[in-house]
């Protein structure tokens, strides 16, 4: 008798050793039809695996998170089978699952997207045949013999330890693989080849160049259609494309990975910084500024010279080595140490928008998302141990206020002490408990990443969610016990004893350049009016009305409303269209009737028009919208 314990505690008994499919059928036929694999004692295995002893079993259905990876892993095999049936001389290498899909590196003649239709047709034939995936296990020697005509598989097998080697068969196709796989190819309901690129075998330029063919797969056509729509929308929102179109920023070969911000880009930048400063003043922060370059002895003291040297830009001045700062923290330590502190001074919240430089490899640079020069909205909070909970809670509330202004949701993750760390058990206990108490008081569910904290302290990472549902890790709150120790920072407690302060590192925007890029894609370039590069454009309908437009512009700019005049000799229709393409929130038409009445006609990006608006009312309504930093684009709507 074999007893199977299910996740809900129920036990199913079988007279003979069952497979996972047998277990599923014993519950319901509907469940069995949706099962793709099982978790057997904590290990994912094929559904046809025989369970030979009493075990805990969790059935993996198409709705479980693990199922999608199994589907895509199986889809990579199906794609490889289809390619081999068309390209007889092709040689397979590896085909892993990656984010949003899978790829397979294949030594074969060059292919292009034009070849995808015939490959996908063969894939559909394999899927419709509902070919079972069958696991085979052989010795290493037998595996070497089996793949004797497959040079890449031979190399992979040779690198494995002696013992059992597994591969999977589907009809006349086989592939080296750990598994698990779907019960049969018919479970693949929606698959699409996405792109092809070149790749070197084992990323070695001295070895063969391969064809890397990417694909994606889902359990339903709707999921695939939604994914393709997401990709199309993400392409439209690409911050590099929008940045060029709106004249916000550029990159130049003279400074790789270091963005140049144009006047319109600086308008957005200024709005972000002004908002940040206002929120921090209200939250009791003081603002500081530290030098961009400091000498080697400081970086040795902070530990960066030993642990981060390869990412730092250095120079020699008066025969002394200097480094351009990759982070702001050590300068903040020097400022704290300038004078003695009492417990009455704490917490001390010091914020700095500091320009930092880090040497990133050229291959990973990616628009504003990955740069070599960027600004961090750092803050260092120096406090006593009993202030941890309150200060963390204060940062979380500040984070919520700022992100909500941009319409960004977020979730939290707590990372605890790693194996390699500094500090005593007591220090870590106090710090971690402080974070947990603050999170409990904040009341949002959070994920715990055991052992994933920094070596100097536990941390909370803040992952924002944009309009497309993508998540980005921008904000972080880190407790640090290392730098106060290294820099011998102290305060005098109420008993007149010298104590070591605990310090919080925290950022909210993170890299402001990266956050800028995220916001471009989040808003698809259609910034709320308070952030918009140009908030209003004036369109005189002929040359005689340009002077009237200039009068209005002078009034608006005096009130701080960013304004342009489109005085081109183009039709009004084209001027309106161009303003809409540039996502100007307020399009103001200046005609003879408006001049005579001292009014304007206001058009919004949605196409709605309000006629006969007095200039005073326009200013009043617009400034109210800007001051309140409303996230919506539309104003002047009844």
Q: φ, ψ for residue 275 (rounded to 5)? A: -65, -45
- Find the catalytic residue in 459, 522, 575, 595: 459
The segments of the chain whose pLDDT lies below 50 read none
Whether the Cβ atoms of residue 301 and residue 485 lie closer than 8 Å to each other: no
> Does pTM surpass 0.85?
no
Tokens of 434: 């402080």
**What is the rounded (10 degree) CA torsion for 17, 20, 22, 23?**
100
- Find the catalytic residue in 376, 387, 478, 553: 376
> What CA–CA distance (Å, rounded) separates 124 from 244?
41
Which pLDDT score is estimated for 637?
Answer: 57
The question of whether 130 is a catalytic residue gets the answer: no
Nearest to 603 by CA among 515, 540, 550, 536: 536
Domain 536-627 has CATH 3.90.1150.10: no
Q: What is the pLDDT of residues 245-300, one digit of tens each?
A: 999 999 999 999 999 999 999 999 999 999 999 999 999 999 999 999 999 999 99
Give CATH 3.10.20.30 domain extents, the chain: 2-61
> What CA–CA distance (Å, rounded) separates 137 from 349?
61
Nearest to 35 by CA among 3, 11, 6, 78: 6
> What CA–CA distance (Å, rounded) separates 511 from 368?
9
Task: Identify the residue whose tokens are 């909970």.
Answer: 389
Give CATH 3.30.930.10 domain extents, the chain: 249-290+325-523
The question of whether 262 is a catalytic residue gets the answer: no
Whether the Cβ atoms of residue 44 and residue 60 lie closer than 8 Å to each other: yes
The question of whether 595 is a catalytic residue gets the answer: no
The question of whether 470 is a catalytic residue gets the answer: no
Strand, coil or helix: 562: coil
Around Cβ 396, how many Cβ atoms within 10 Å?
23
The question of whether 372 is a catalytic residue gets the answer: no
> What CA–CA distance (Å, rounded) separates 92 from 94?
7
- Find the catalytic residue in 341, 349, 357, 358: 358
Measured CA to CA in angstroms, residue 271 lies from 121, 266, 338, 381, 555 at distances of 52, 8, 33, 25, 20
- Find the catalytic residue in 177, 329, 474, 590: 329
Which CATH architecture fits 71-234?
A: 2-Layer Sandwich (3.30)
> What CA–CA distance (Å, rounded) separates 592 from 595?
5
Whether the Cβ atoms of residue 37 and residue 73 lie closer than 8 Å to each other: no
Which pLDDT score is estimated for 636?
Answer: 63
Whether the Cβ atoms of residue 507 and residue 462 lie closer than 8 Å to each other: no
Domain 249-290+325-523 has CATH 2.40.37.10: no
CB pairs under 8 A, 24+ apart, for 173-178? 173/77, 173/80, 173/81, 173/84, 174/136, 174/146, 175/77, 175/80, 175/92, 175/95, 176/143, 176/147, 177/73, 177/77
Which CATH architecture fits 2-61?
A: Roll (3.10)
The question of whether 376 is a catalytic residue gets the answer: yes
The question of whether 380 is a catalytic residue gets the answer: yes
- Find the catalytic residue in 181, 227, 505, 506: 505
Give CATH 3.30.980.10 domain extents, the chain: 71-234
> What CA–CA distance (Å, rounded) separates 592 from 590?
7
> What CA–CA distance (Å, rounded) separates 441 from 401?
17
- Find the catalytic residue in 378, 461, 466, 566: 378
Give CATH 3.40.50.800 domain extents, the chain: 536-627
What's the farthest any 2 CA atoms get from each other in the chain?
A: 97
Give the N- to C-terminal CA distance of the chain in Å, as an integer: 74
Whether the Cβ atoms of residue 462 and residue 310 lie closer than 8 Å to each other: no
- Find the catalytic residue in 380, 436, 562, 625: 380
DSSP one-letter string for 247-282 = T-EE--TTSTT--EE-HHHHHHHHHHHHHHHHHHHH
Contacts of 82 (CB under 8 A, 6+ apart): 119, 120, 122, 123, 125, 126
């Amino acid at each position: 008798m074999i007893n199977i314990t299910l996740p809900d505690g129920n036990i199913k008994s079988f007279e003979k050793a069952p497979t996972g499919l047998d277990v599923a059928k014993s519950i319901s036929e509907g469940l069995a039809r949706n099962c793709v694999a099982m978790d057997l004692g904590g290990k994912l295995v094929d559904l046809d695996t025989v369970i030979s002893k009493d075990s805990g079993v969790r059935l993996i259905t198409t709705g479980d998170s693990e199922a999608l990876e199994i589907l895509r892993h199986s889809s990579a095999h199906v794609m490889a089978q289809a390619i081999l049936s068309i390209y007889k001389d092709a040689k397979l290498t590896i085909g892993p699952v990656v984010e949003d899909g899978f790829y397979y590196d294949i030594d074969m003649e060059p292919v292009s997207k034009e070849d995808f239709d015939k490959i996908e047709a063969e894939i559909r034939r394999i899927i419709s045949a509902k070919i079972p995936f069958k696991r085979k296990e052989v010795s290493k020697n037998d595996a070497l013999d089996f793949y004797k005509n497959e040079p890449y598989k031979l190399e992979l097998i040779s690198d494995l330890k002696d013992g059992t080697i597994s591969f999977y068969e589907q009809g006349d196709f086989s592939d080296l693989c750990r598994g698990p796989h779907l019960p049969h190819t018919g479970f693949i309901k929606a698959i699409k080849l996405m792109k092809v690129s070149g790749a070197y075998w084992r990323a070695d330029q001295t070895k063969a160049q391969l064809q890397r063919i990417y694909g994606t797969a889902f359990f339903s056509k709707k999921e695939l259609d939604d994914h393709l729509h997401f990709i199309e929308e993400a392409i439209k929102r690409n911050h590099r494309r929008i940045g060029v179109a709106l004249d916000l920023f550029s990159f130049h070969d003279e400074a790789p990975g270091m963005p140049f911000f144009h006047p319109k880009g600086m308008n957005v930048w200024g709005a972000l910084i002004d908002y940040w400063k206002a929120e921090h003043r209200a939250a009791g922060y003081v603002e500081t500024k530290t030098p961009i370059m400091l000498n080697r002895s400081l970086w040795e003291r902070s530990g960066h010279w030993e642990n981060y040297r390869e990412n730092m830009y250095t120079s020699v001045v008066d025969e002394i080595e200097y480094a351009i700062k990759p982070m702001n923290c050590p300068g903040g330590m020097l400022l704290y140490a300038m004078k003695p502190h009492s417990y009455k001074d704490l917490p001390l919240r010091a914020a700095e928008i500091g320009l930092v430089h880090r040497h990133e490899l050229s291959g990973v640079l990616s628009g504003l998302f990955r740069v070599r020069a960027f600004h961090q909205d750092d803050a260092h909070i120096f406090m006593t141990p009993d202030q941890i909970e309150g200060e963390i809670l204060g940062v979380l509330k500040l984070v919520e206020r700022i992100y909500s202004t941009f319409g960004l949701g977020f979730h939290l993750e707590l990372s605890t002490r790693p194996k390699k760390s500094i500090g005593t058990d007591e220090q870590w206990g106090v710090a971690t408990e402080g974070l947990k108490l603050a999170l409990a008081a904040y009341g949002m569910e959070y994920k715990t990443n055991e052992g994933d904290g920094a070596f100097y302290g536990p941390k909370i990472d803040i992952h924002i969610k944009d309009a497309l549902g993508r998540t980005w890790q921008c904000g972080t709150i880190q407790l640090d016990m290392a730098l106060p120790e290294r820099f011998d920072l102290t305060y005098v407690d109420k008993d007149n004893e010298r104590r070591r302060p605990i310090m919080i590192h925290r950022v909210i925007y993170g890299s402001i350049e990266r956050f800028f890029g995220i916001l471009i894609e989040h808003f698809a370039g259609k910034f709320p009016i308070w952030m918009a590069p140009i908030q209003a454009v004036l369109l005189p309908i002929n040359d005689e009305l340009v002077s009237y437009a200039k009068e209005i512009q002078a009034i608006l700019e005096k009130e701080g409303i960013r304004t342009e005049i489109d005085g081109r000799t183009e039709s009004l229709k084209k001027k309106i269209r161009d303003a809409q393409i540039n996502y100007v929130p307020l399009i103001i038409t200046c005609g003879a009737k408006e001049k005579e009445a001292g009014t304007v006609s206001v058009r919004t990006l949605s196409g709605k028009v309000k006629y006969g608006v007095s200039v005073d009312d326009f200013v009043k309504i617009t400034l109210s919208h800007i001051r309140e930093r409303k996230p919506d684009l539309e104003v002047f709507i009844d």
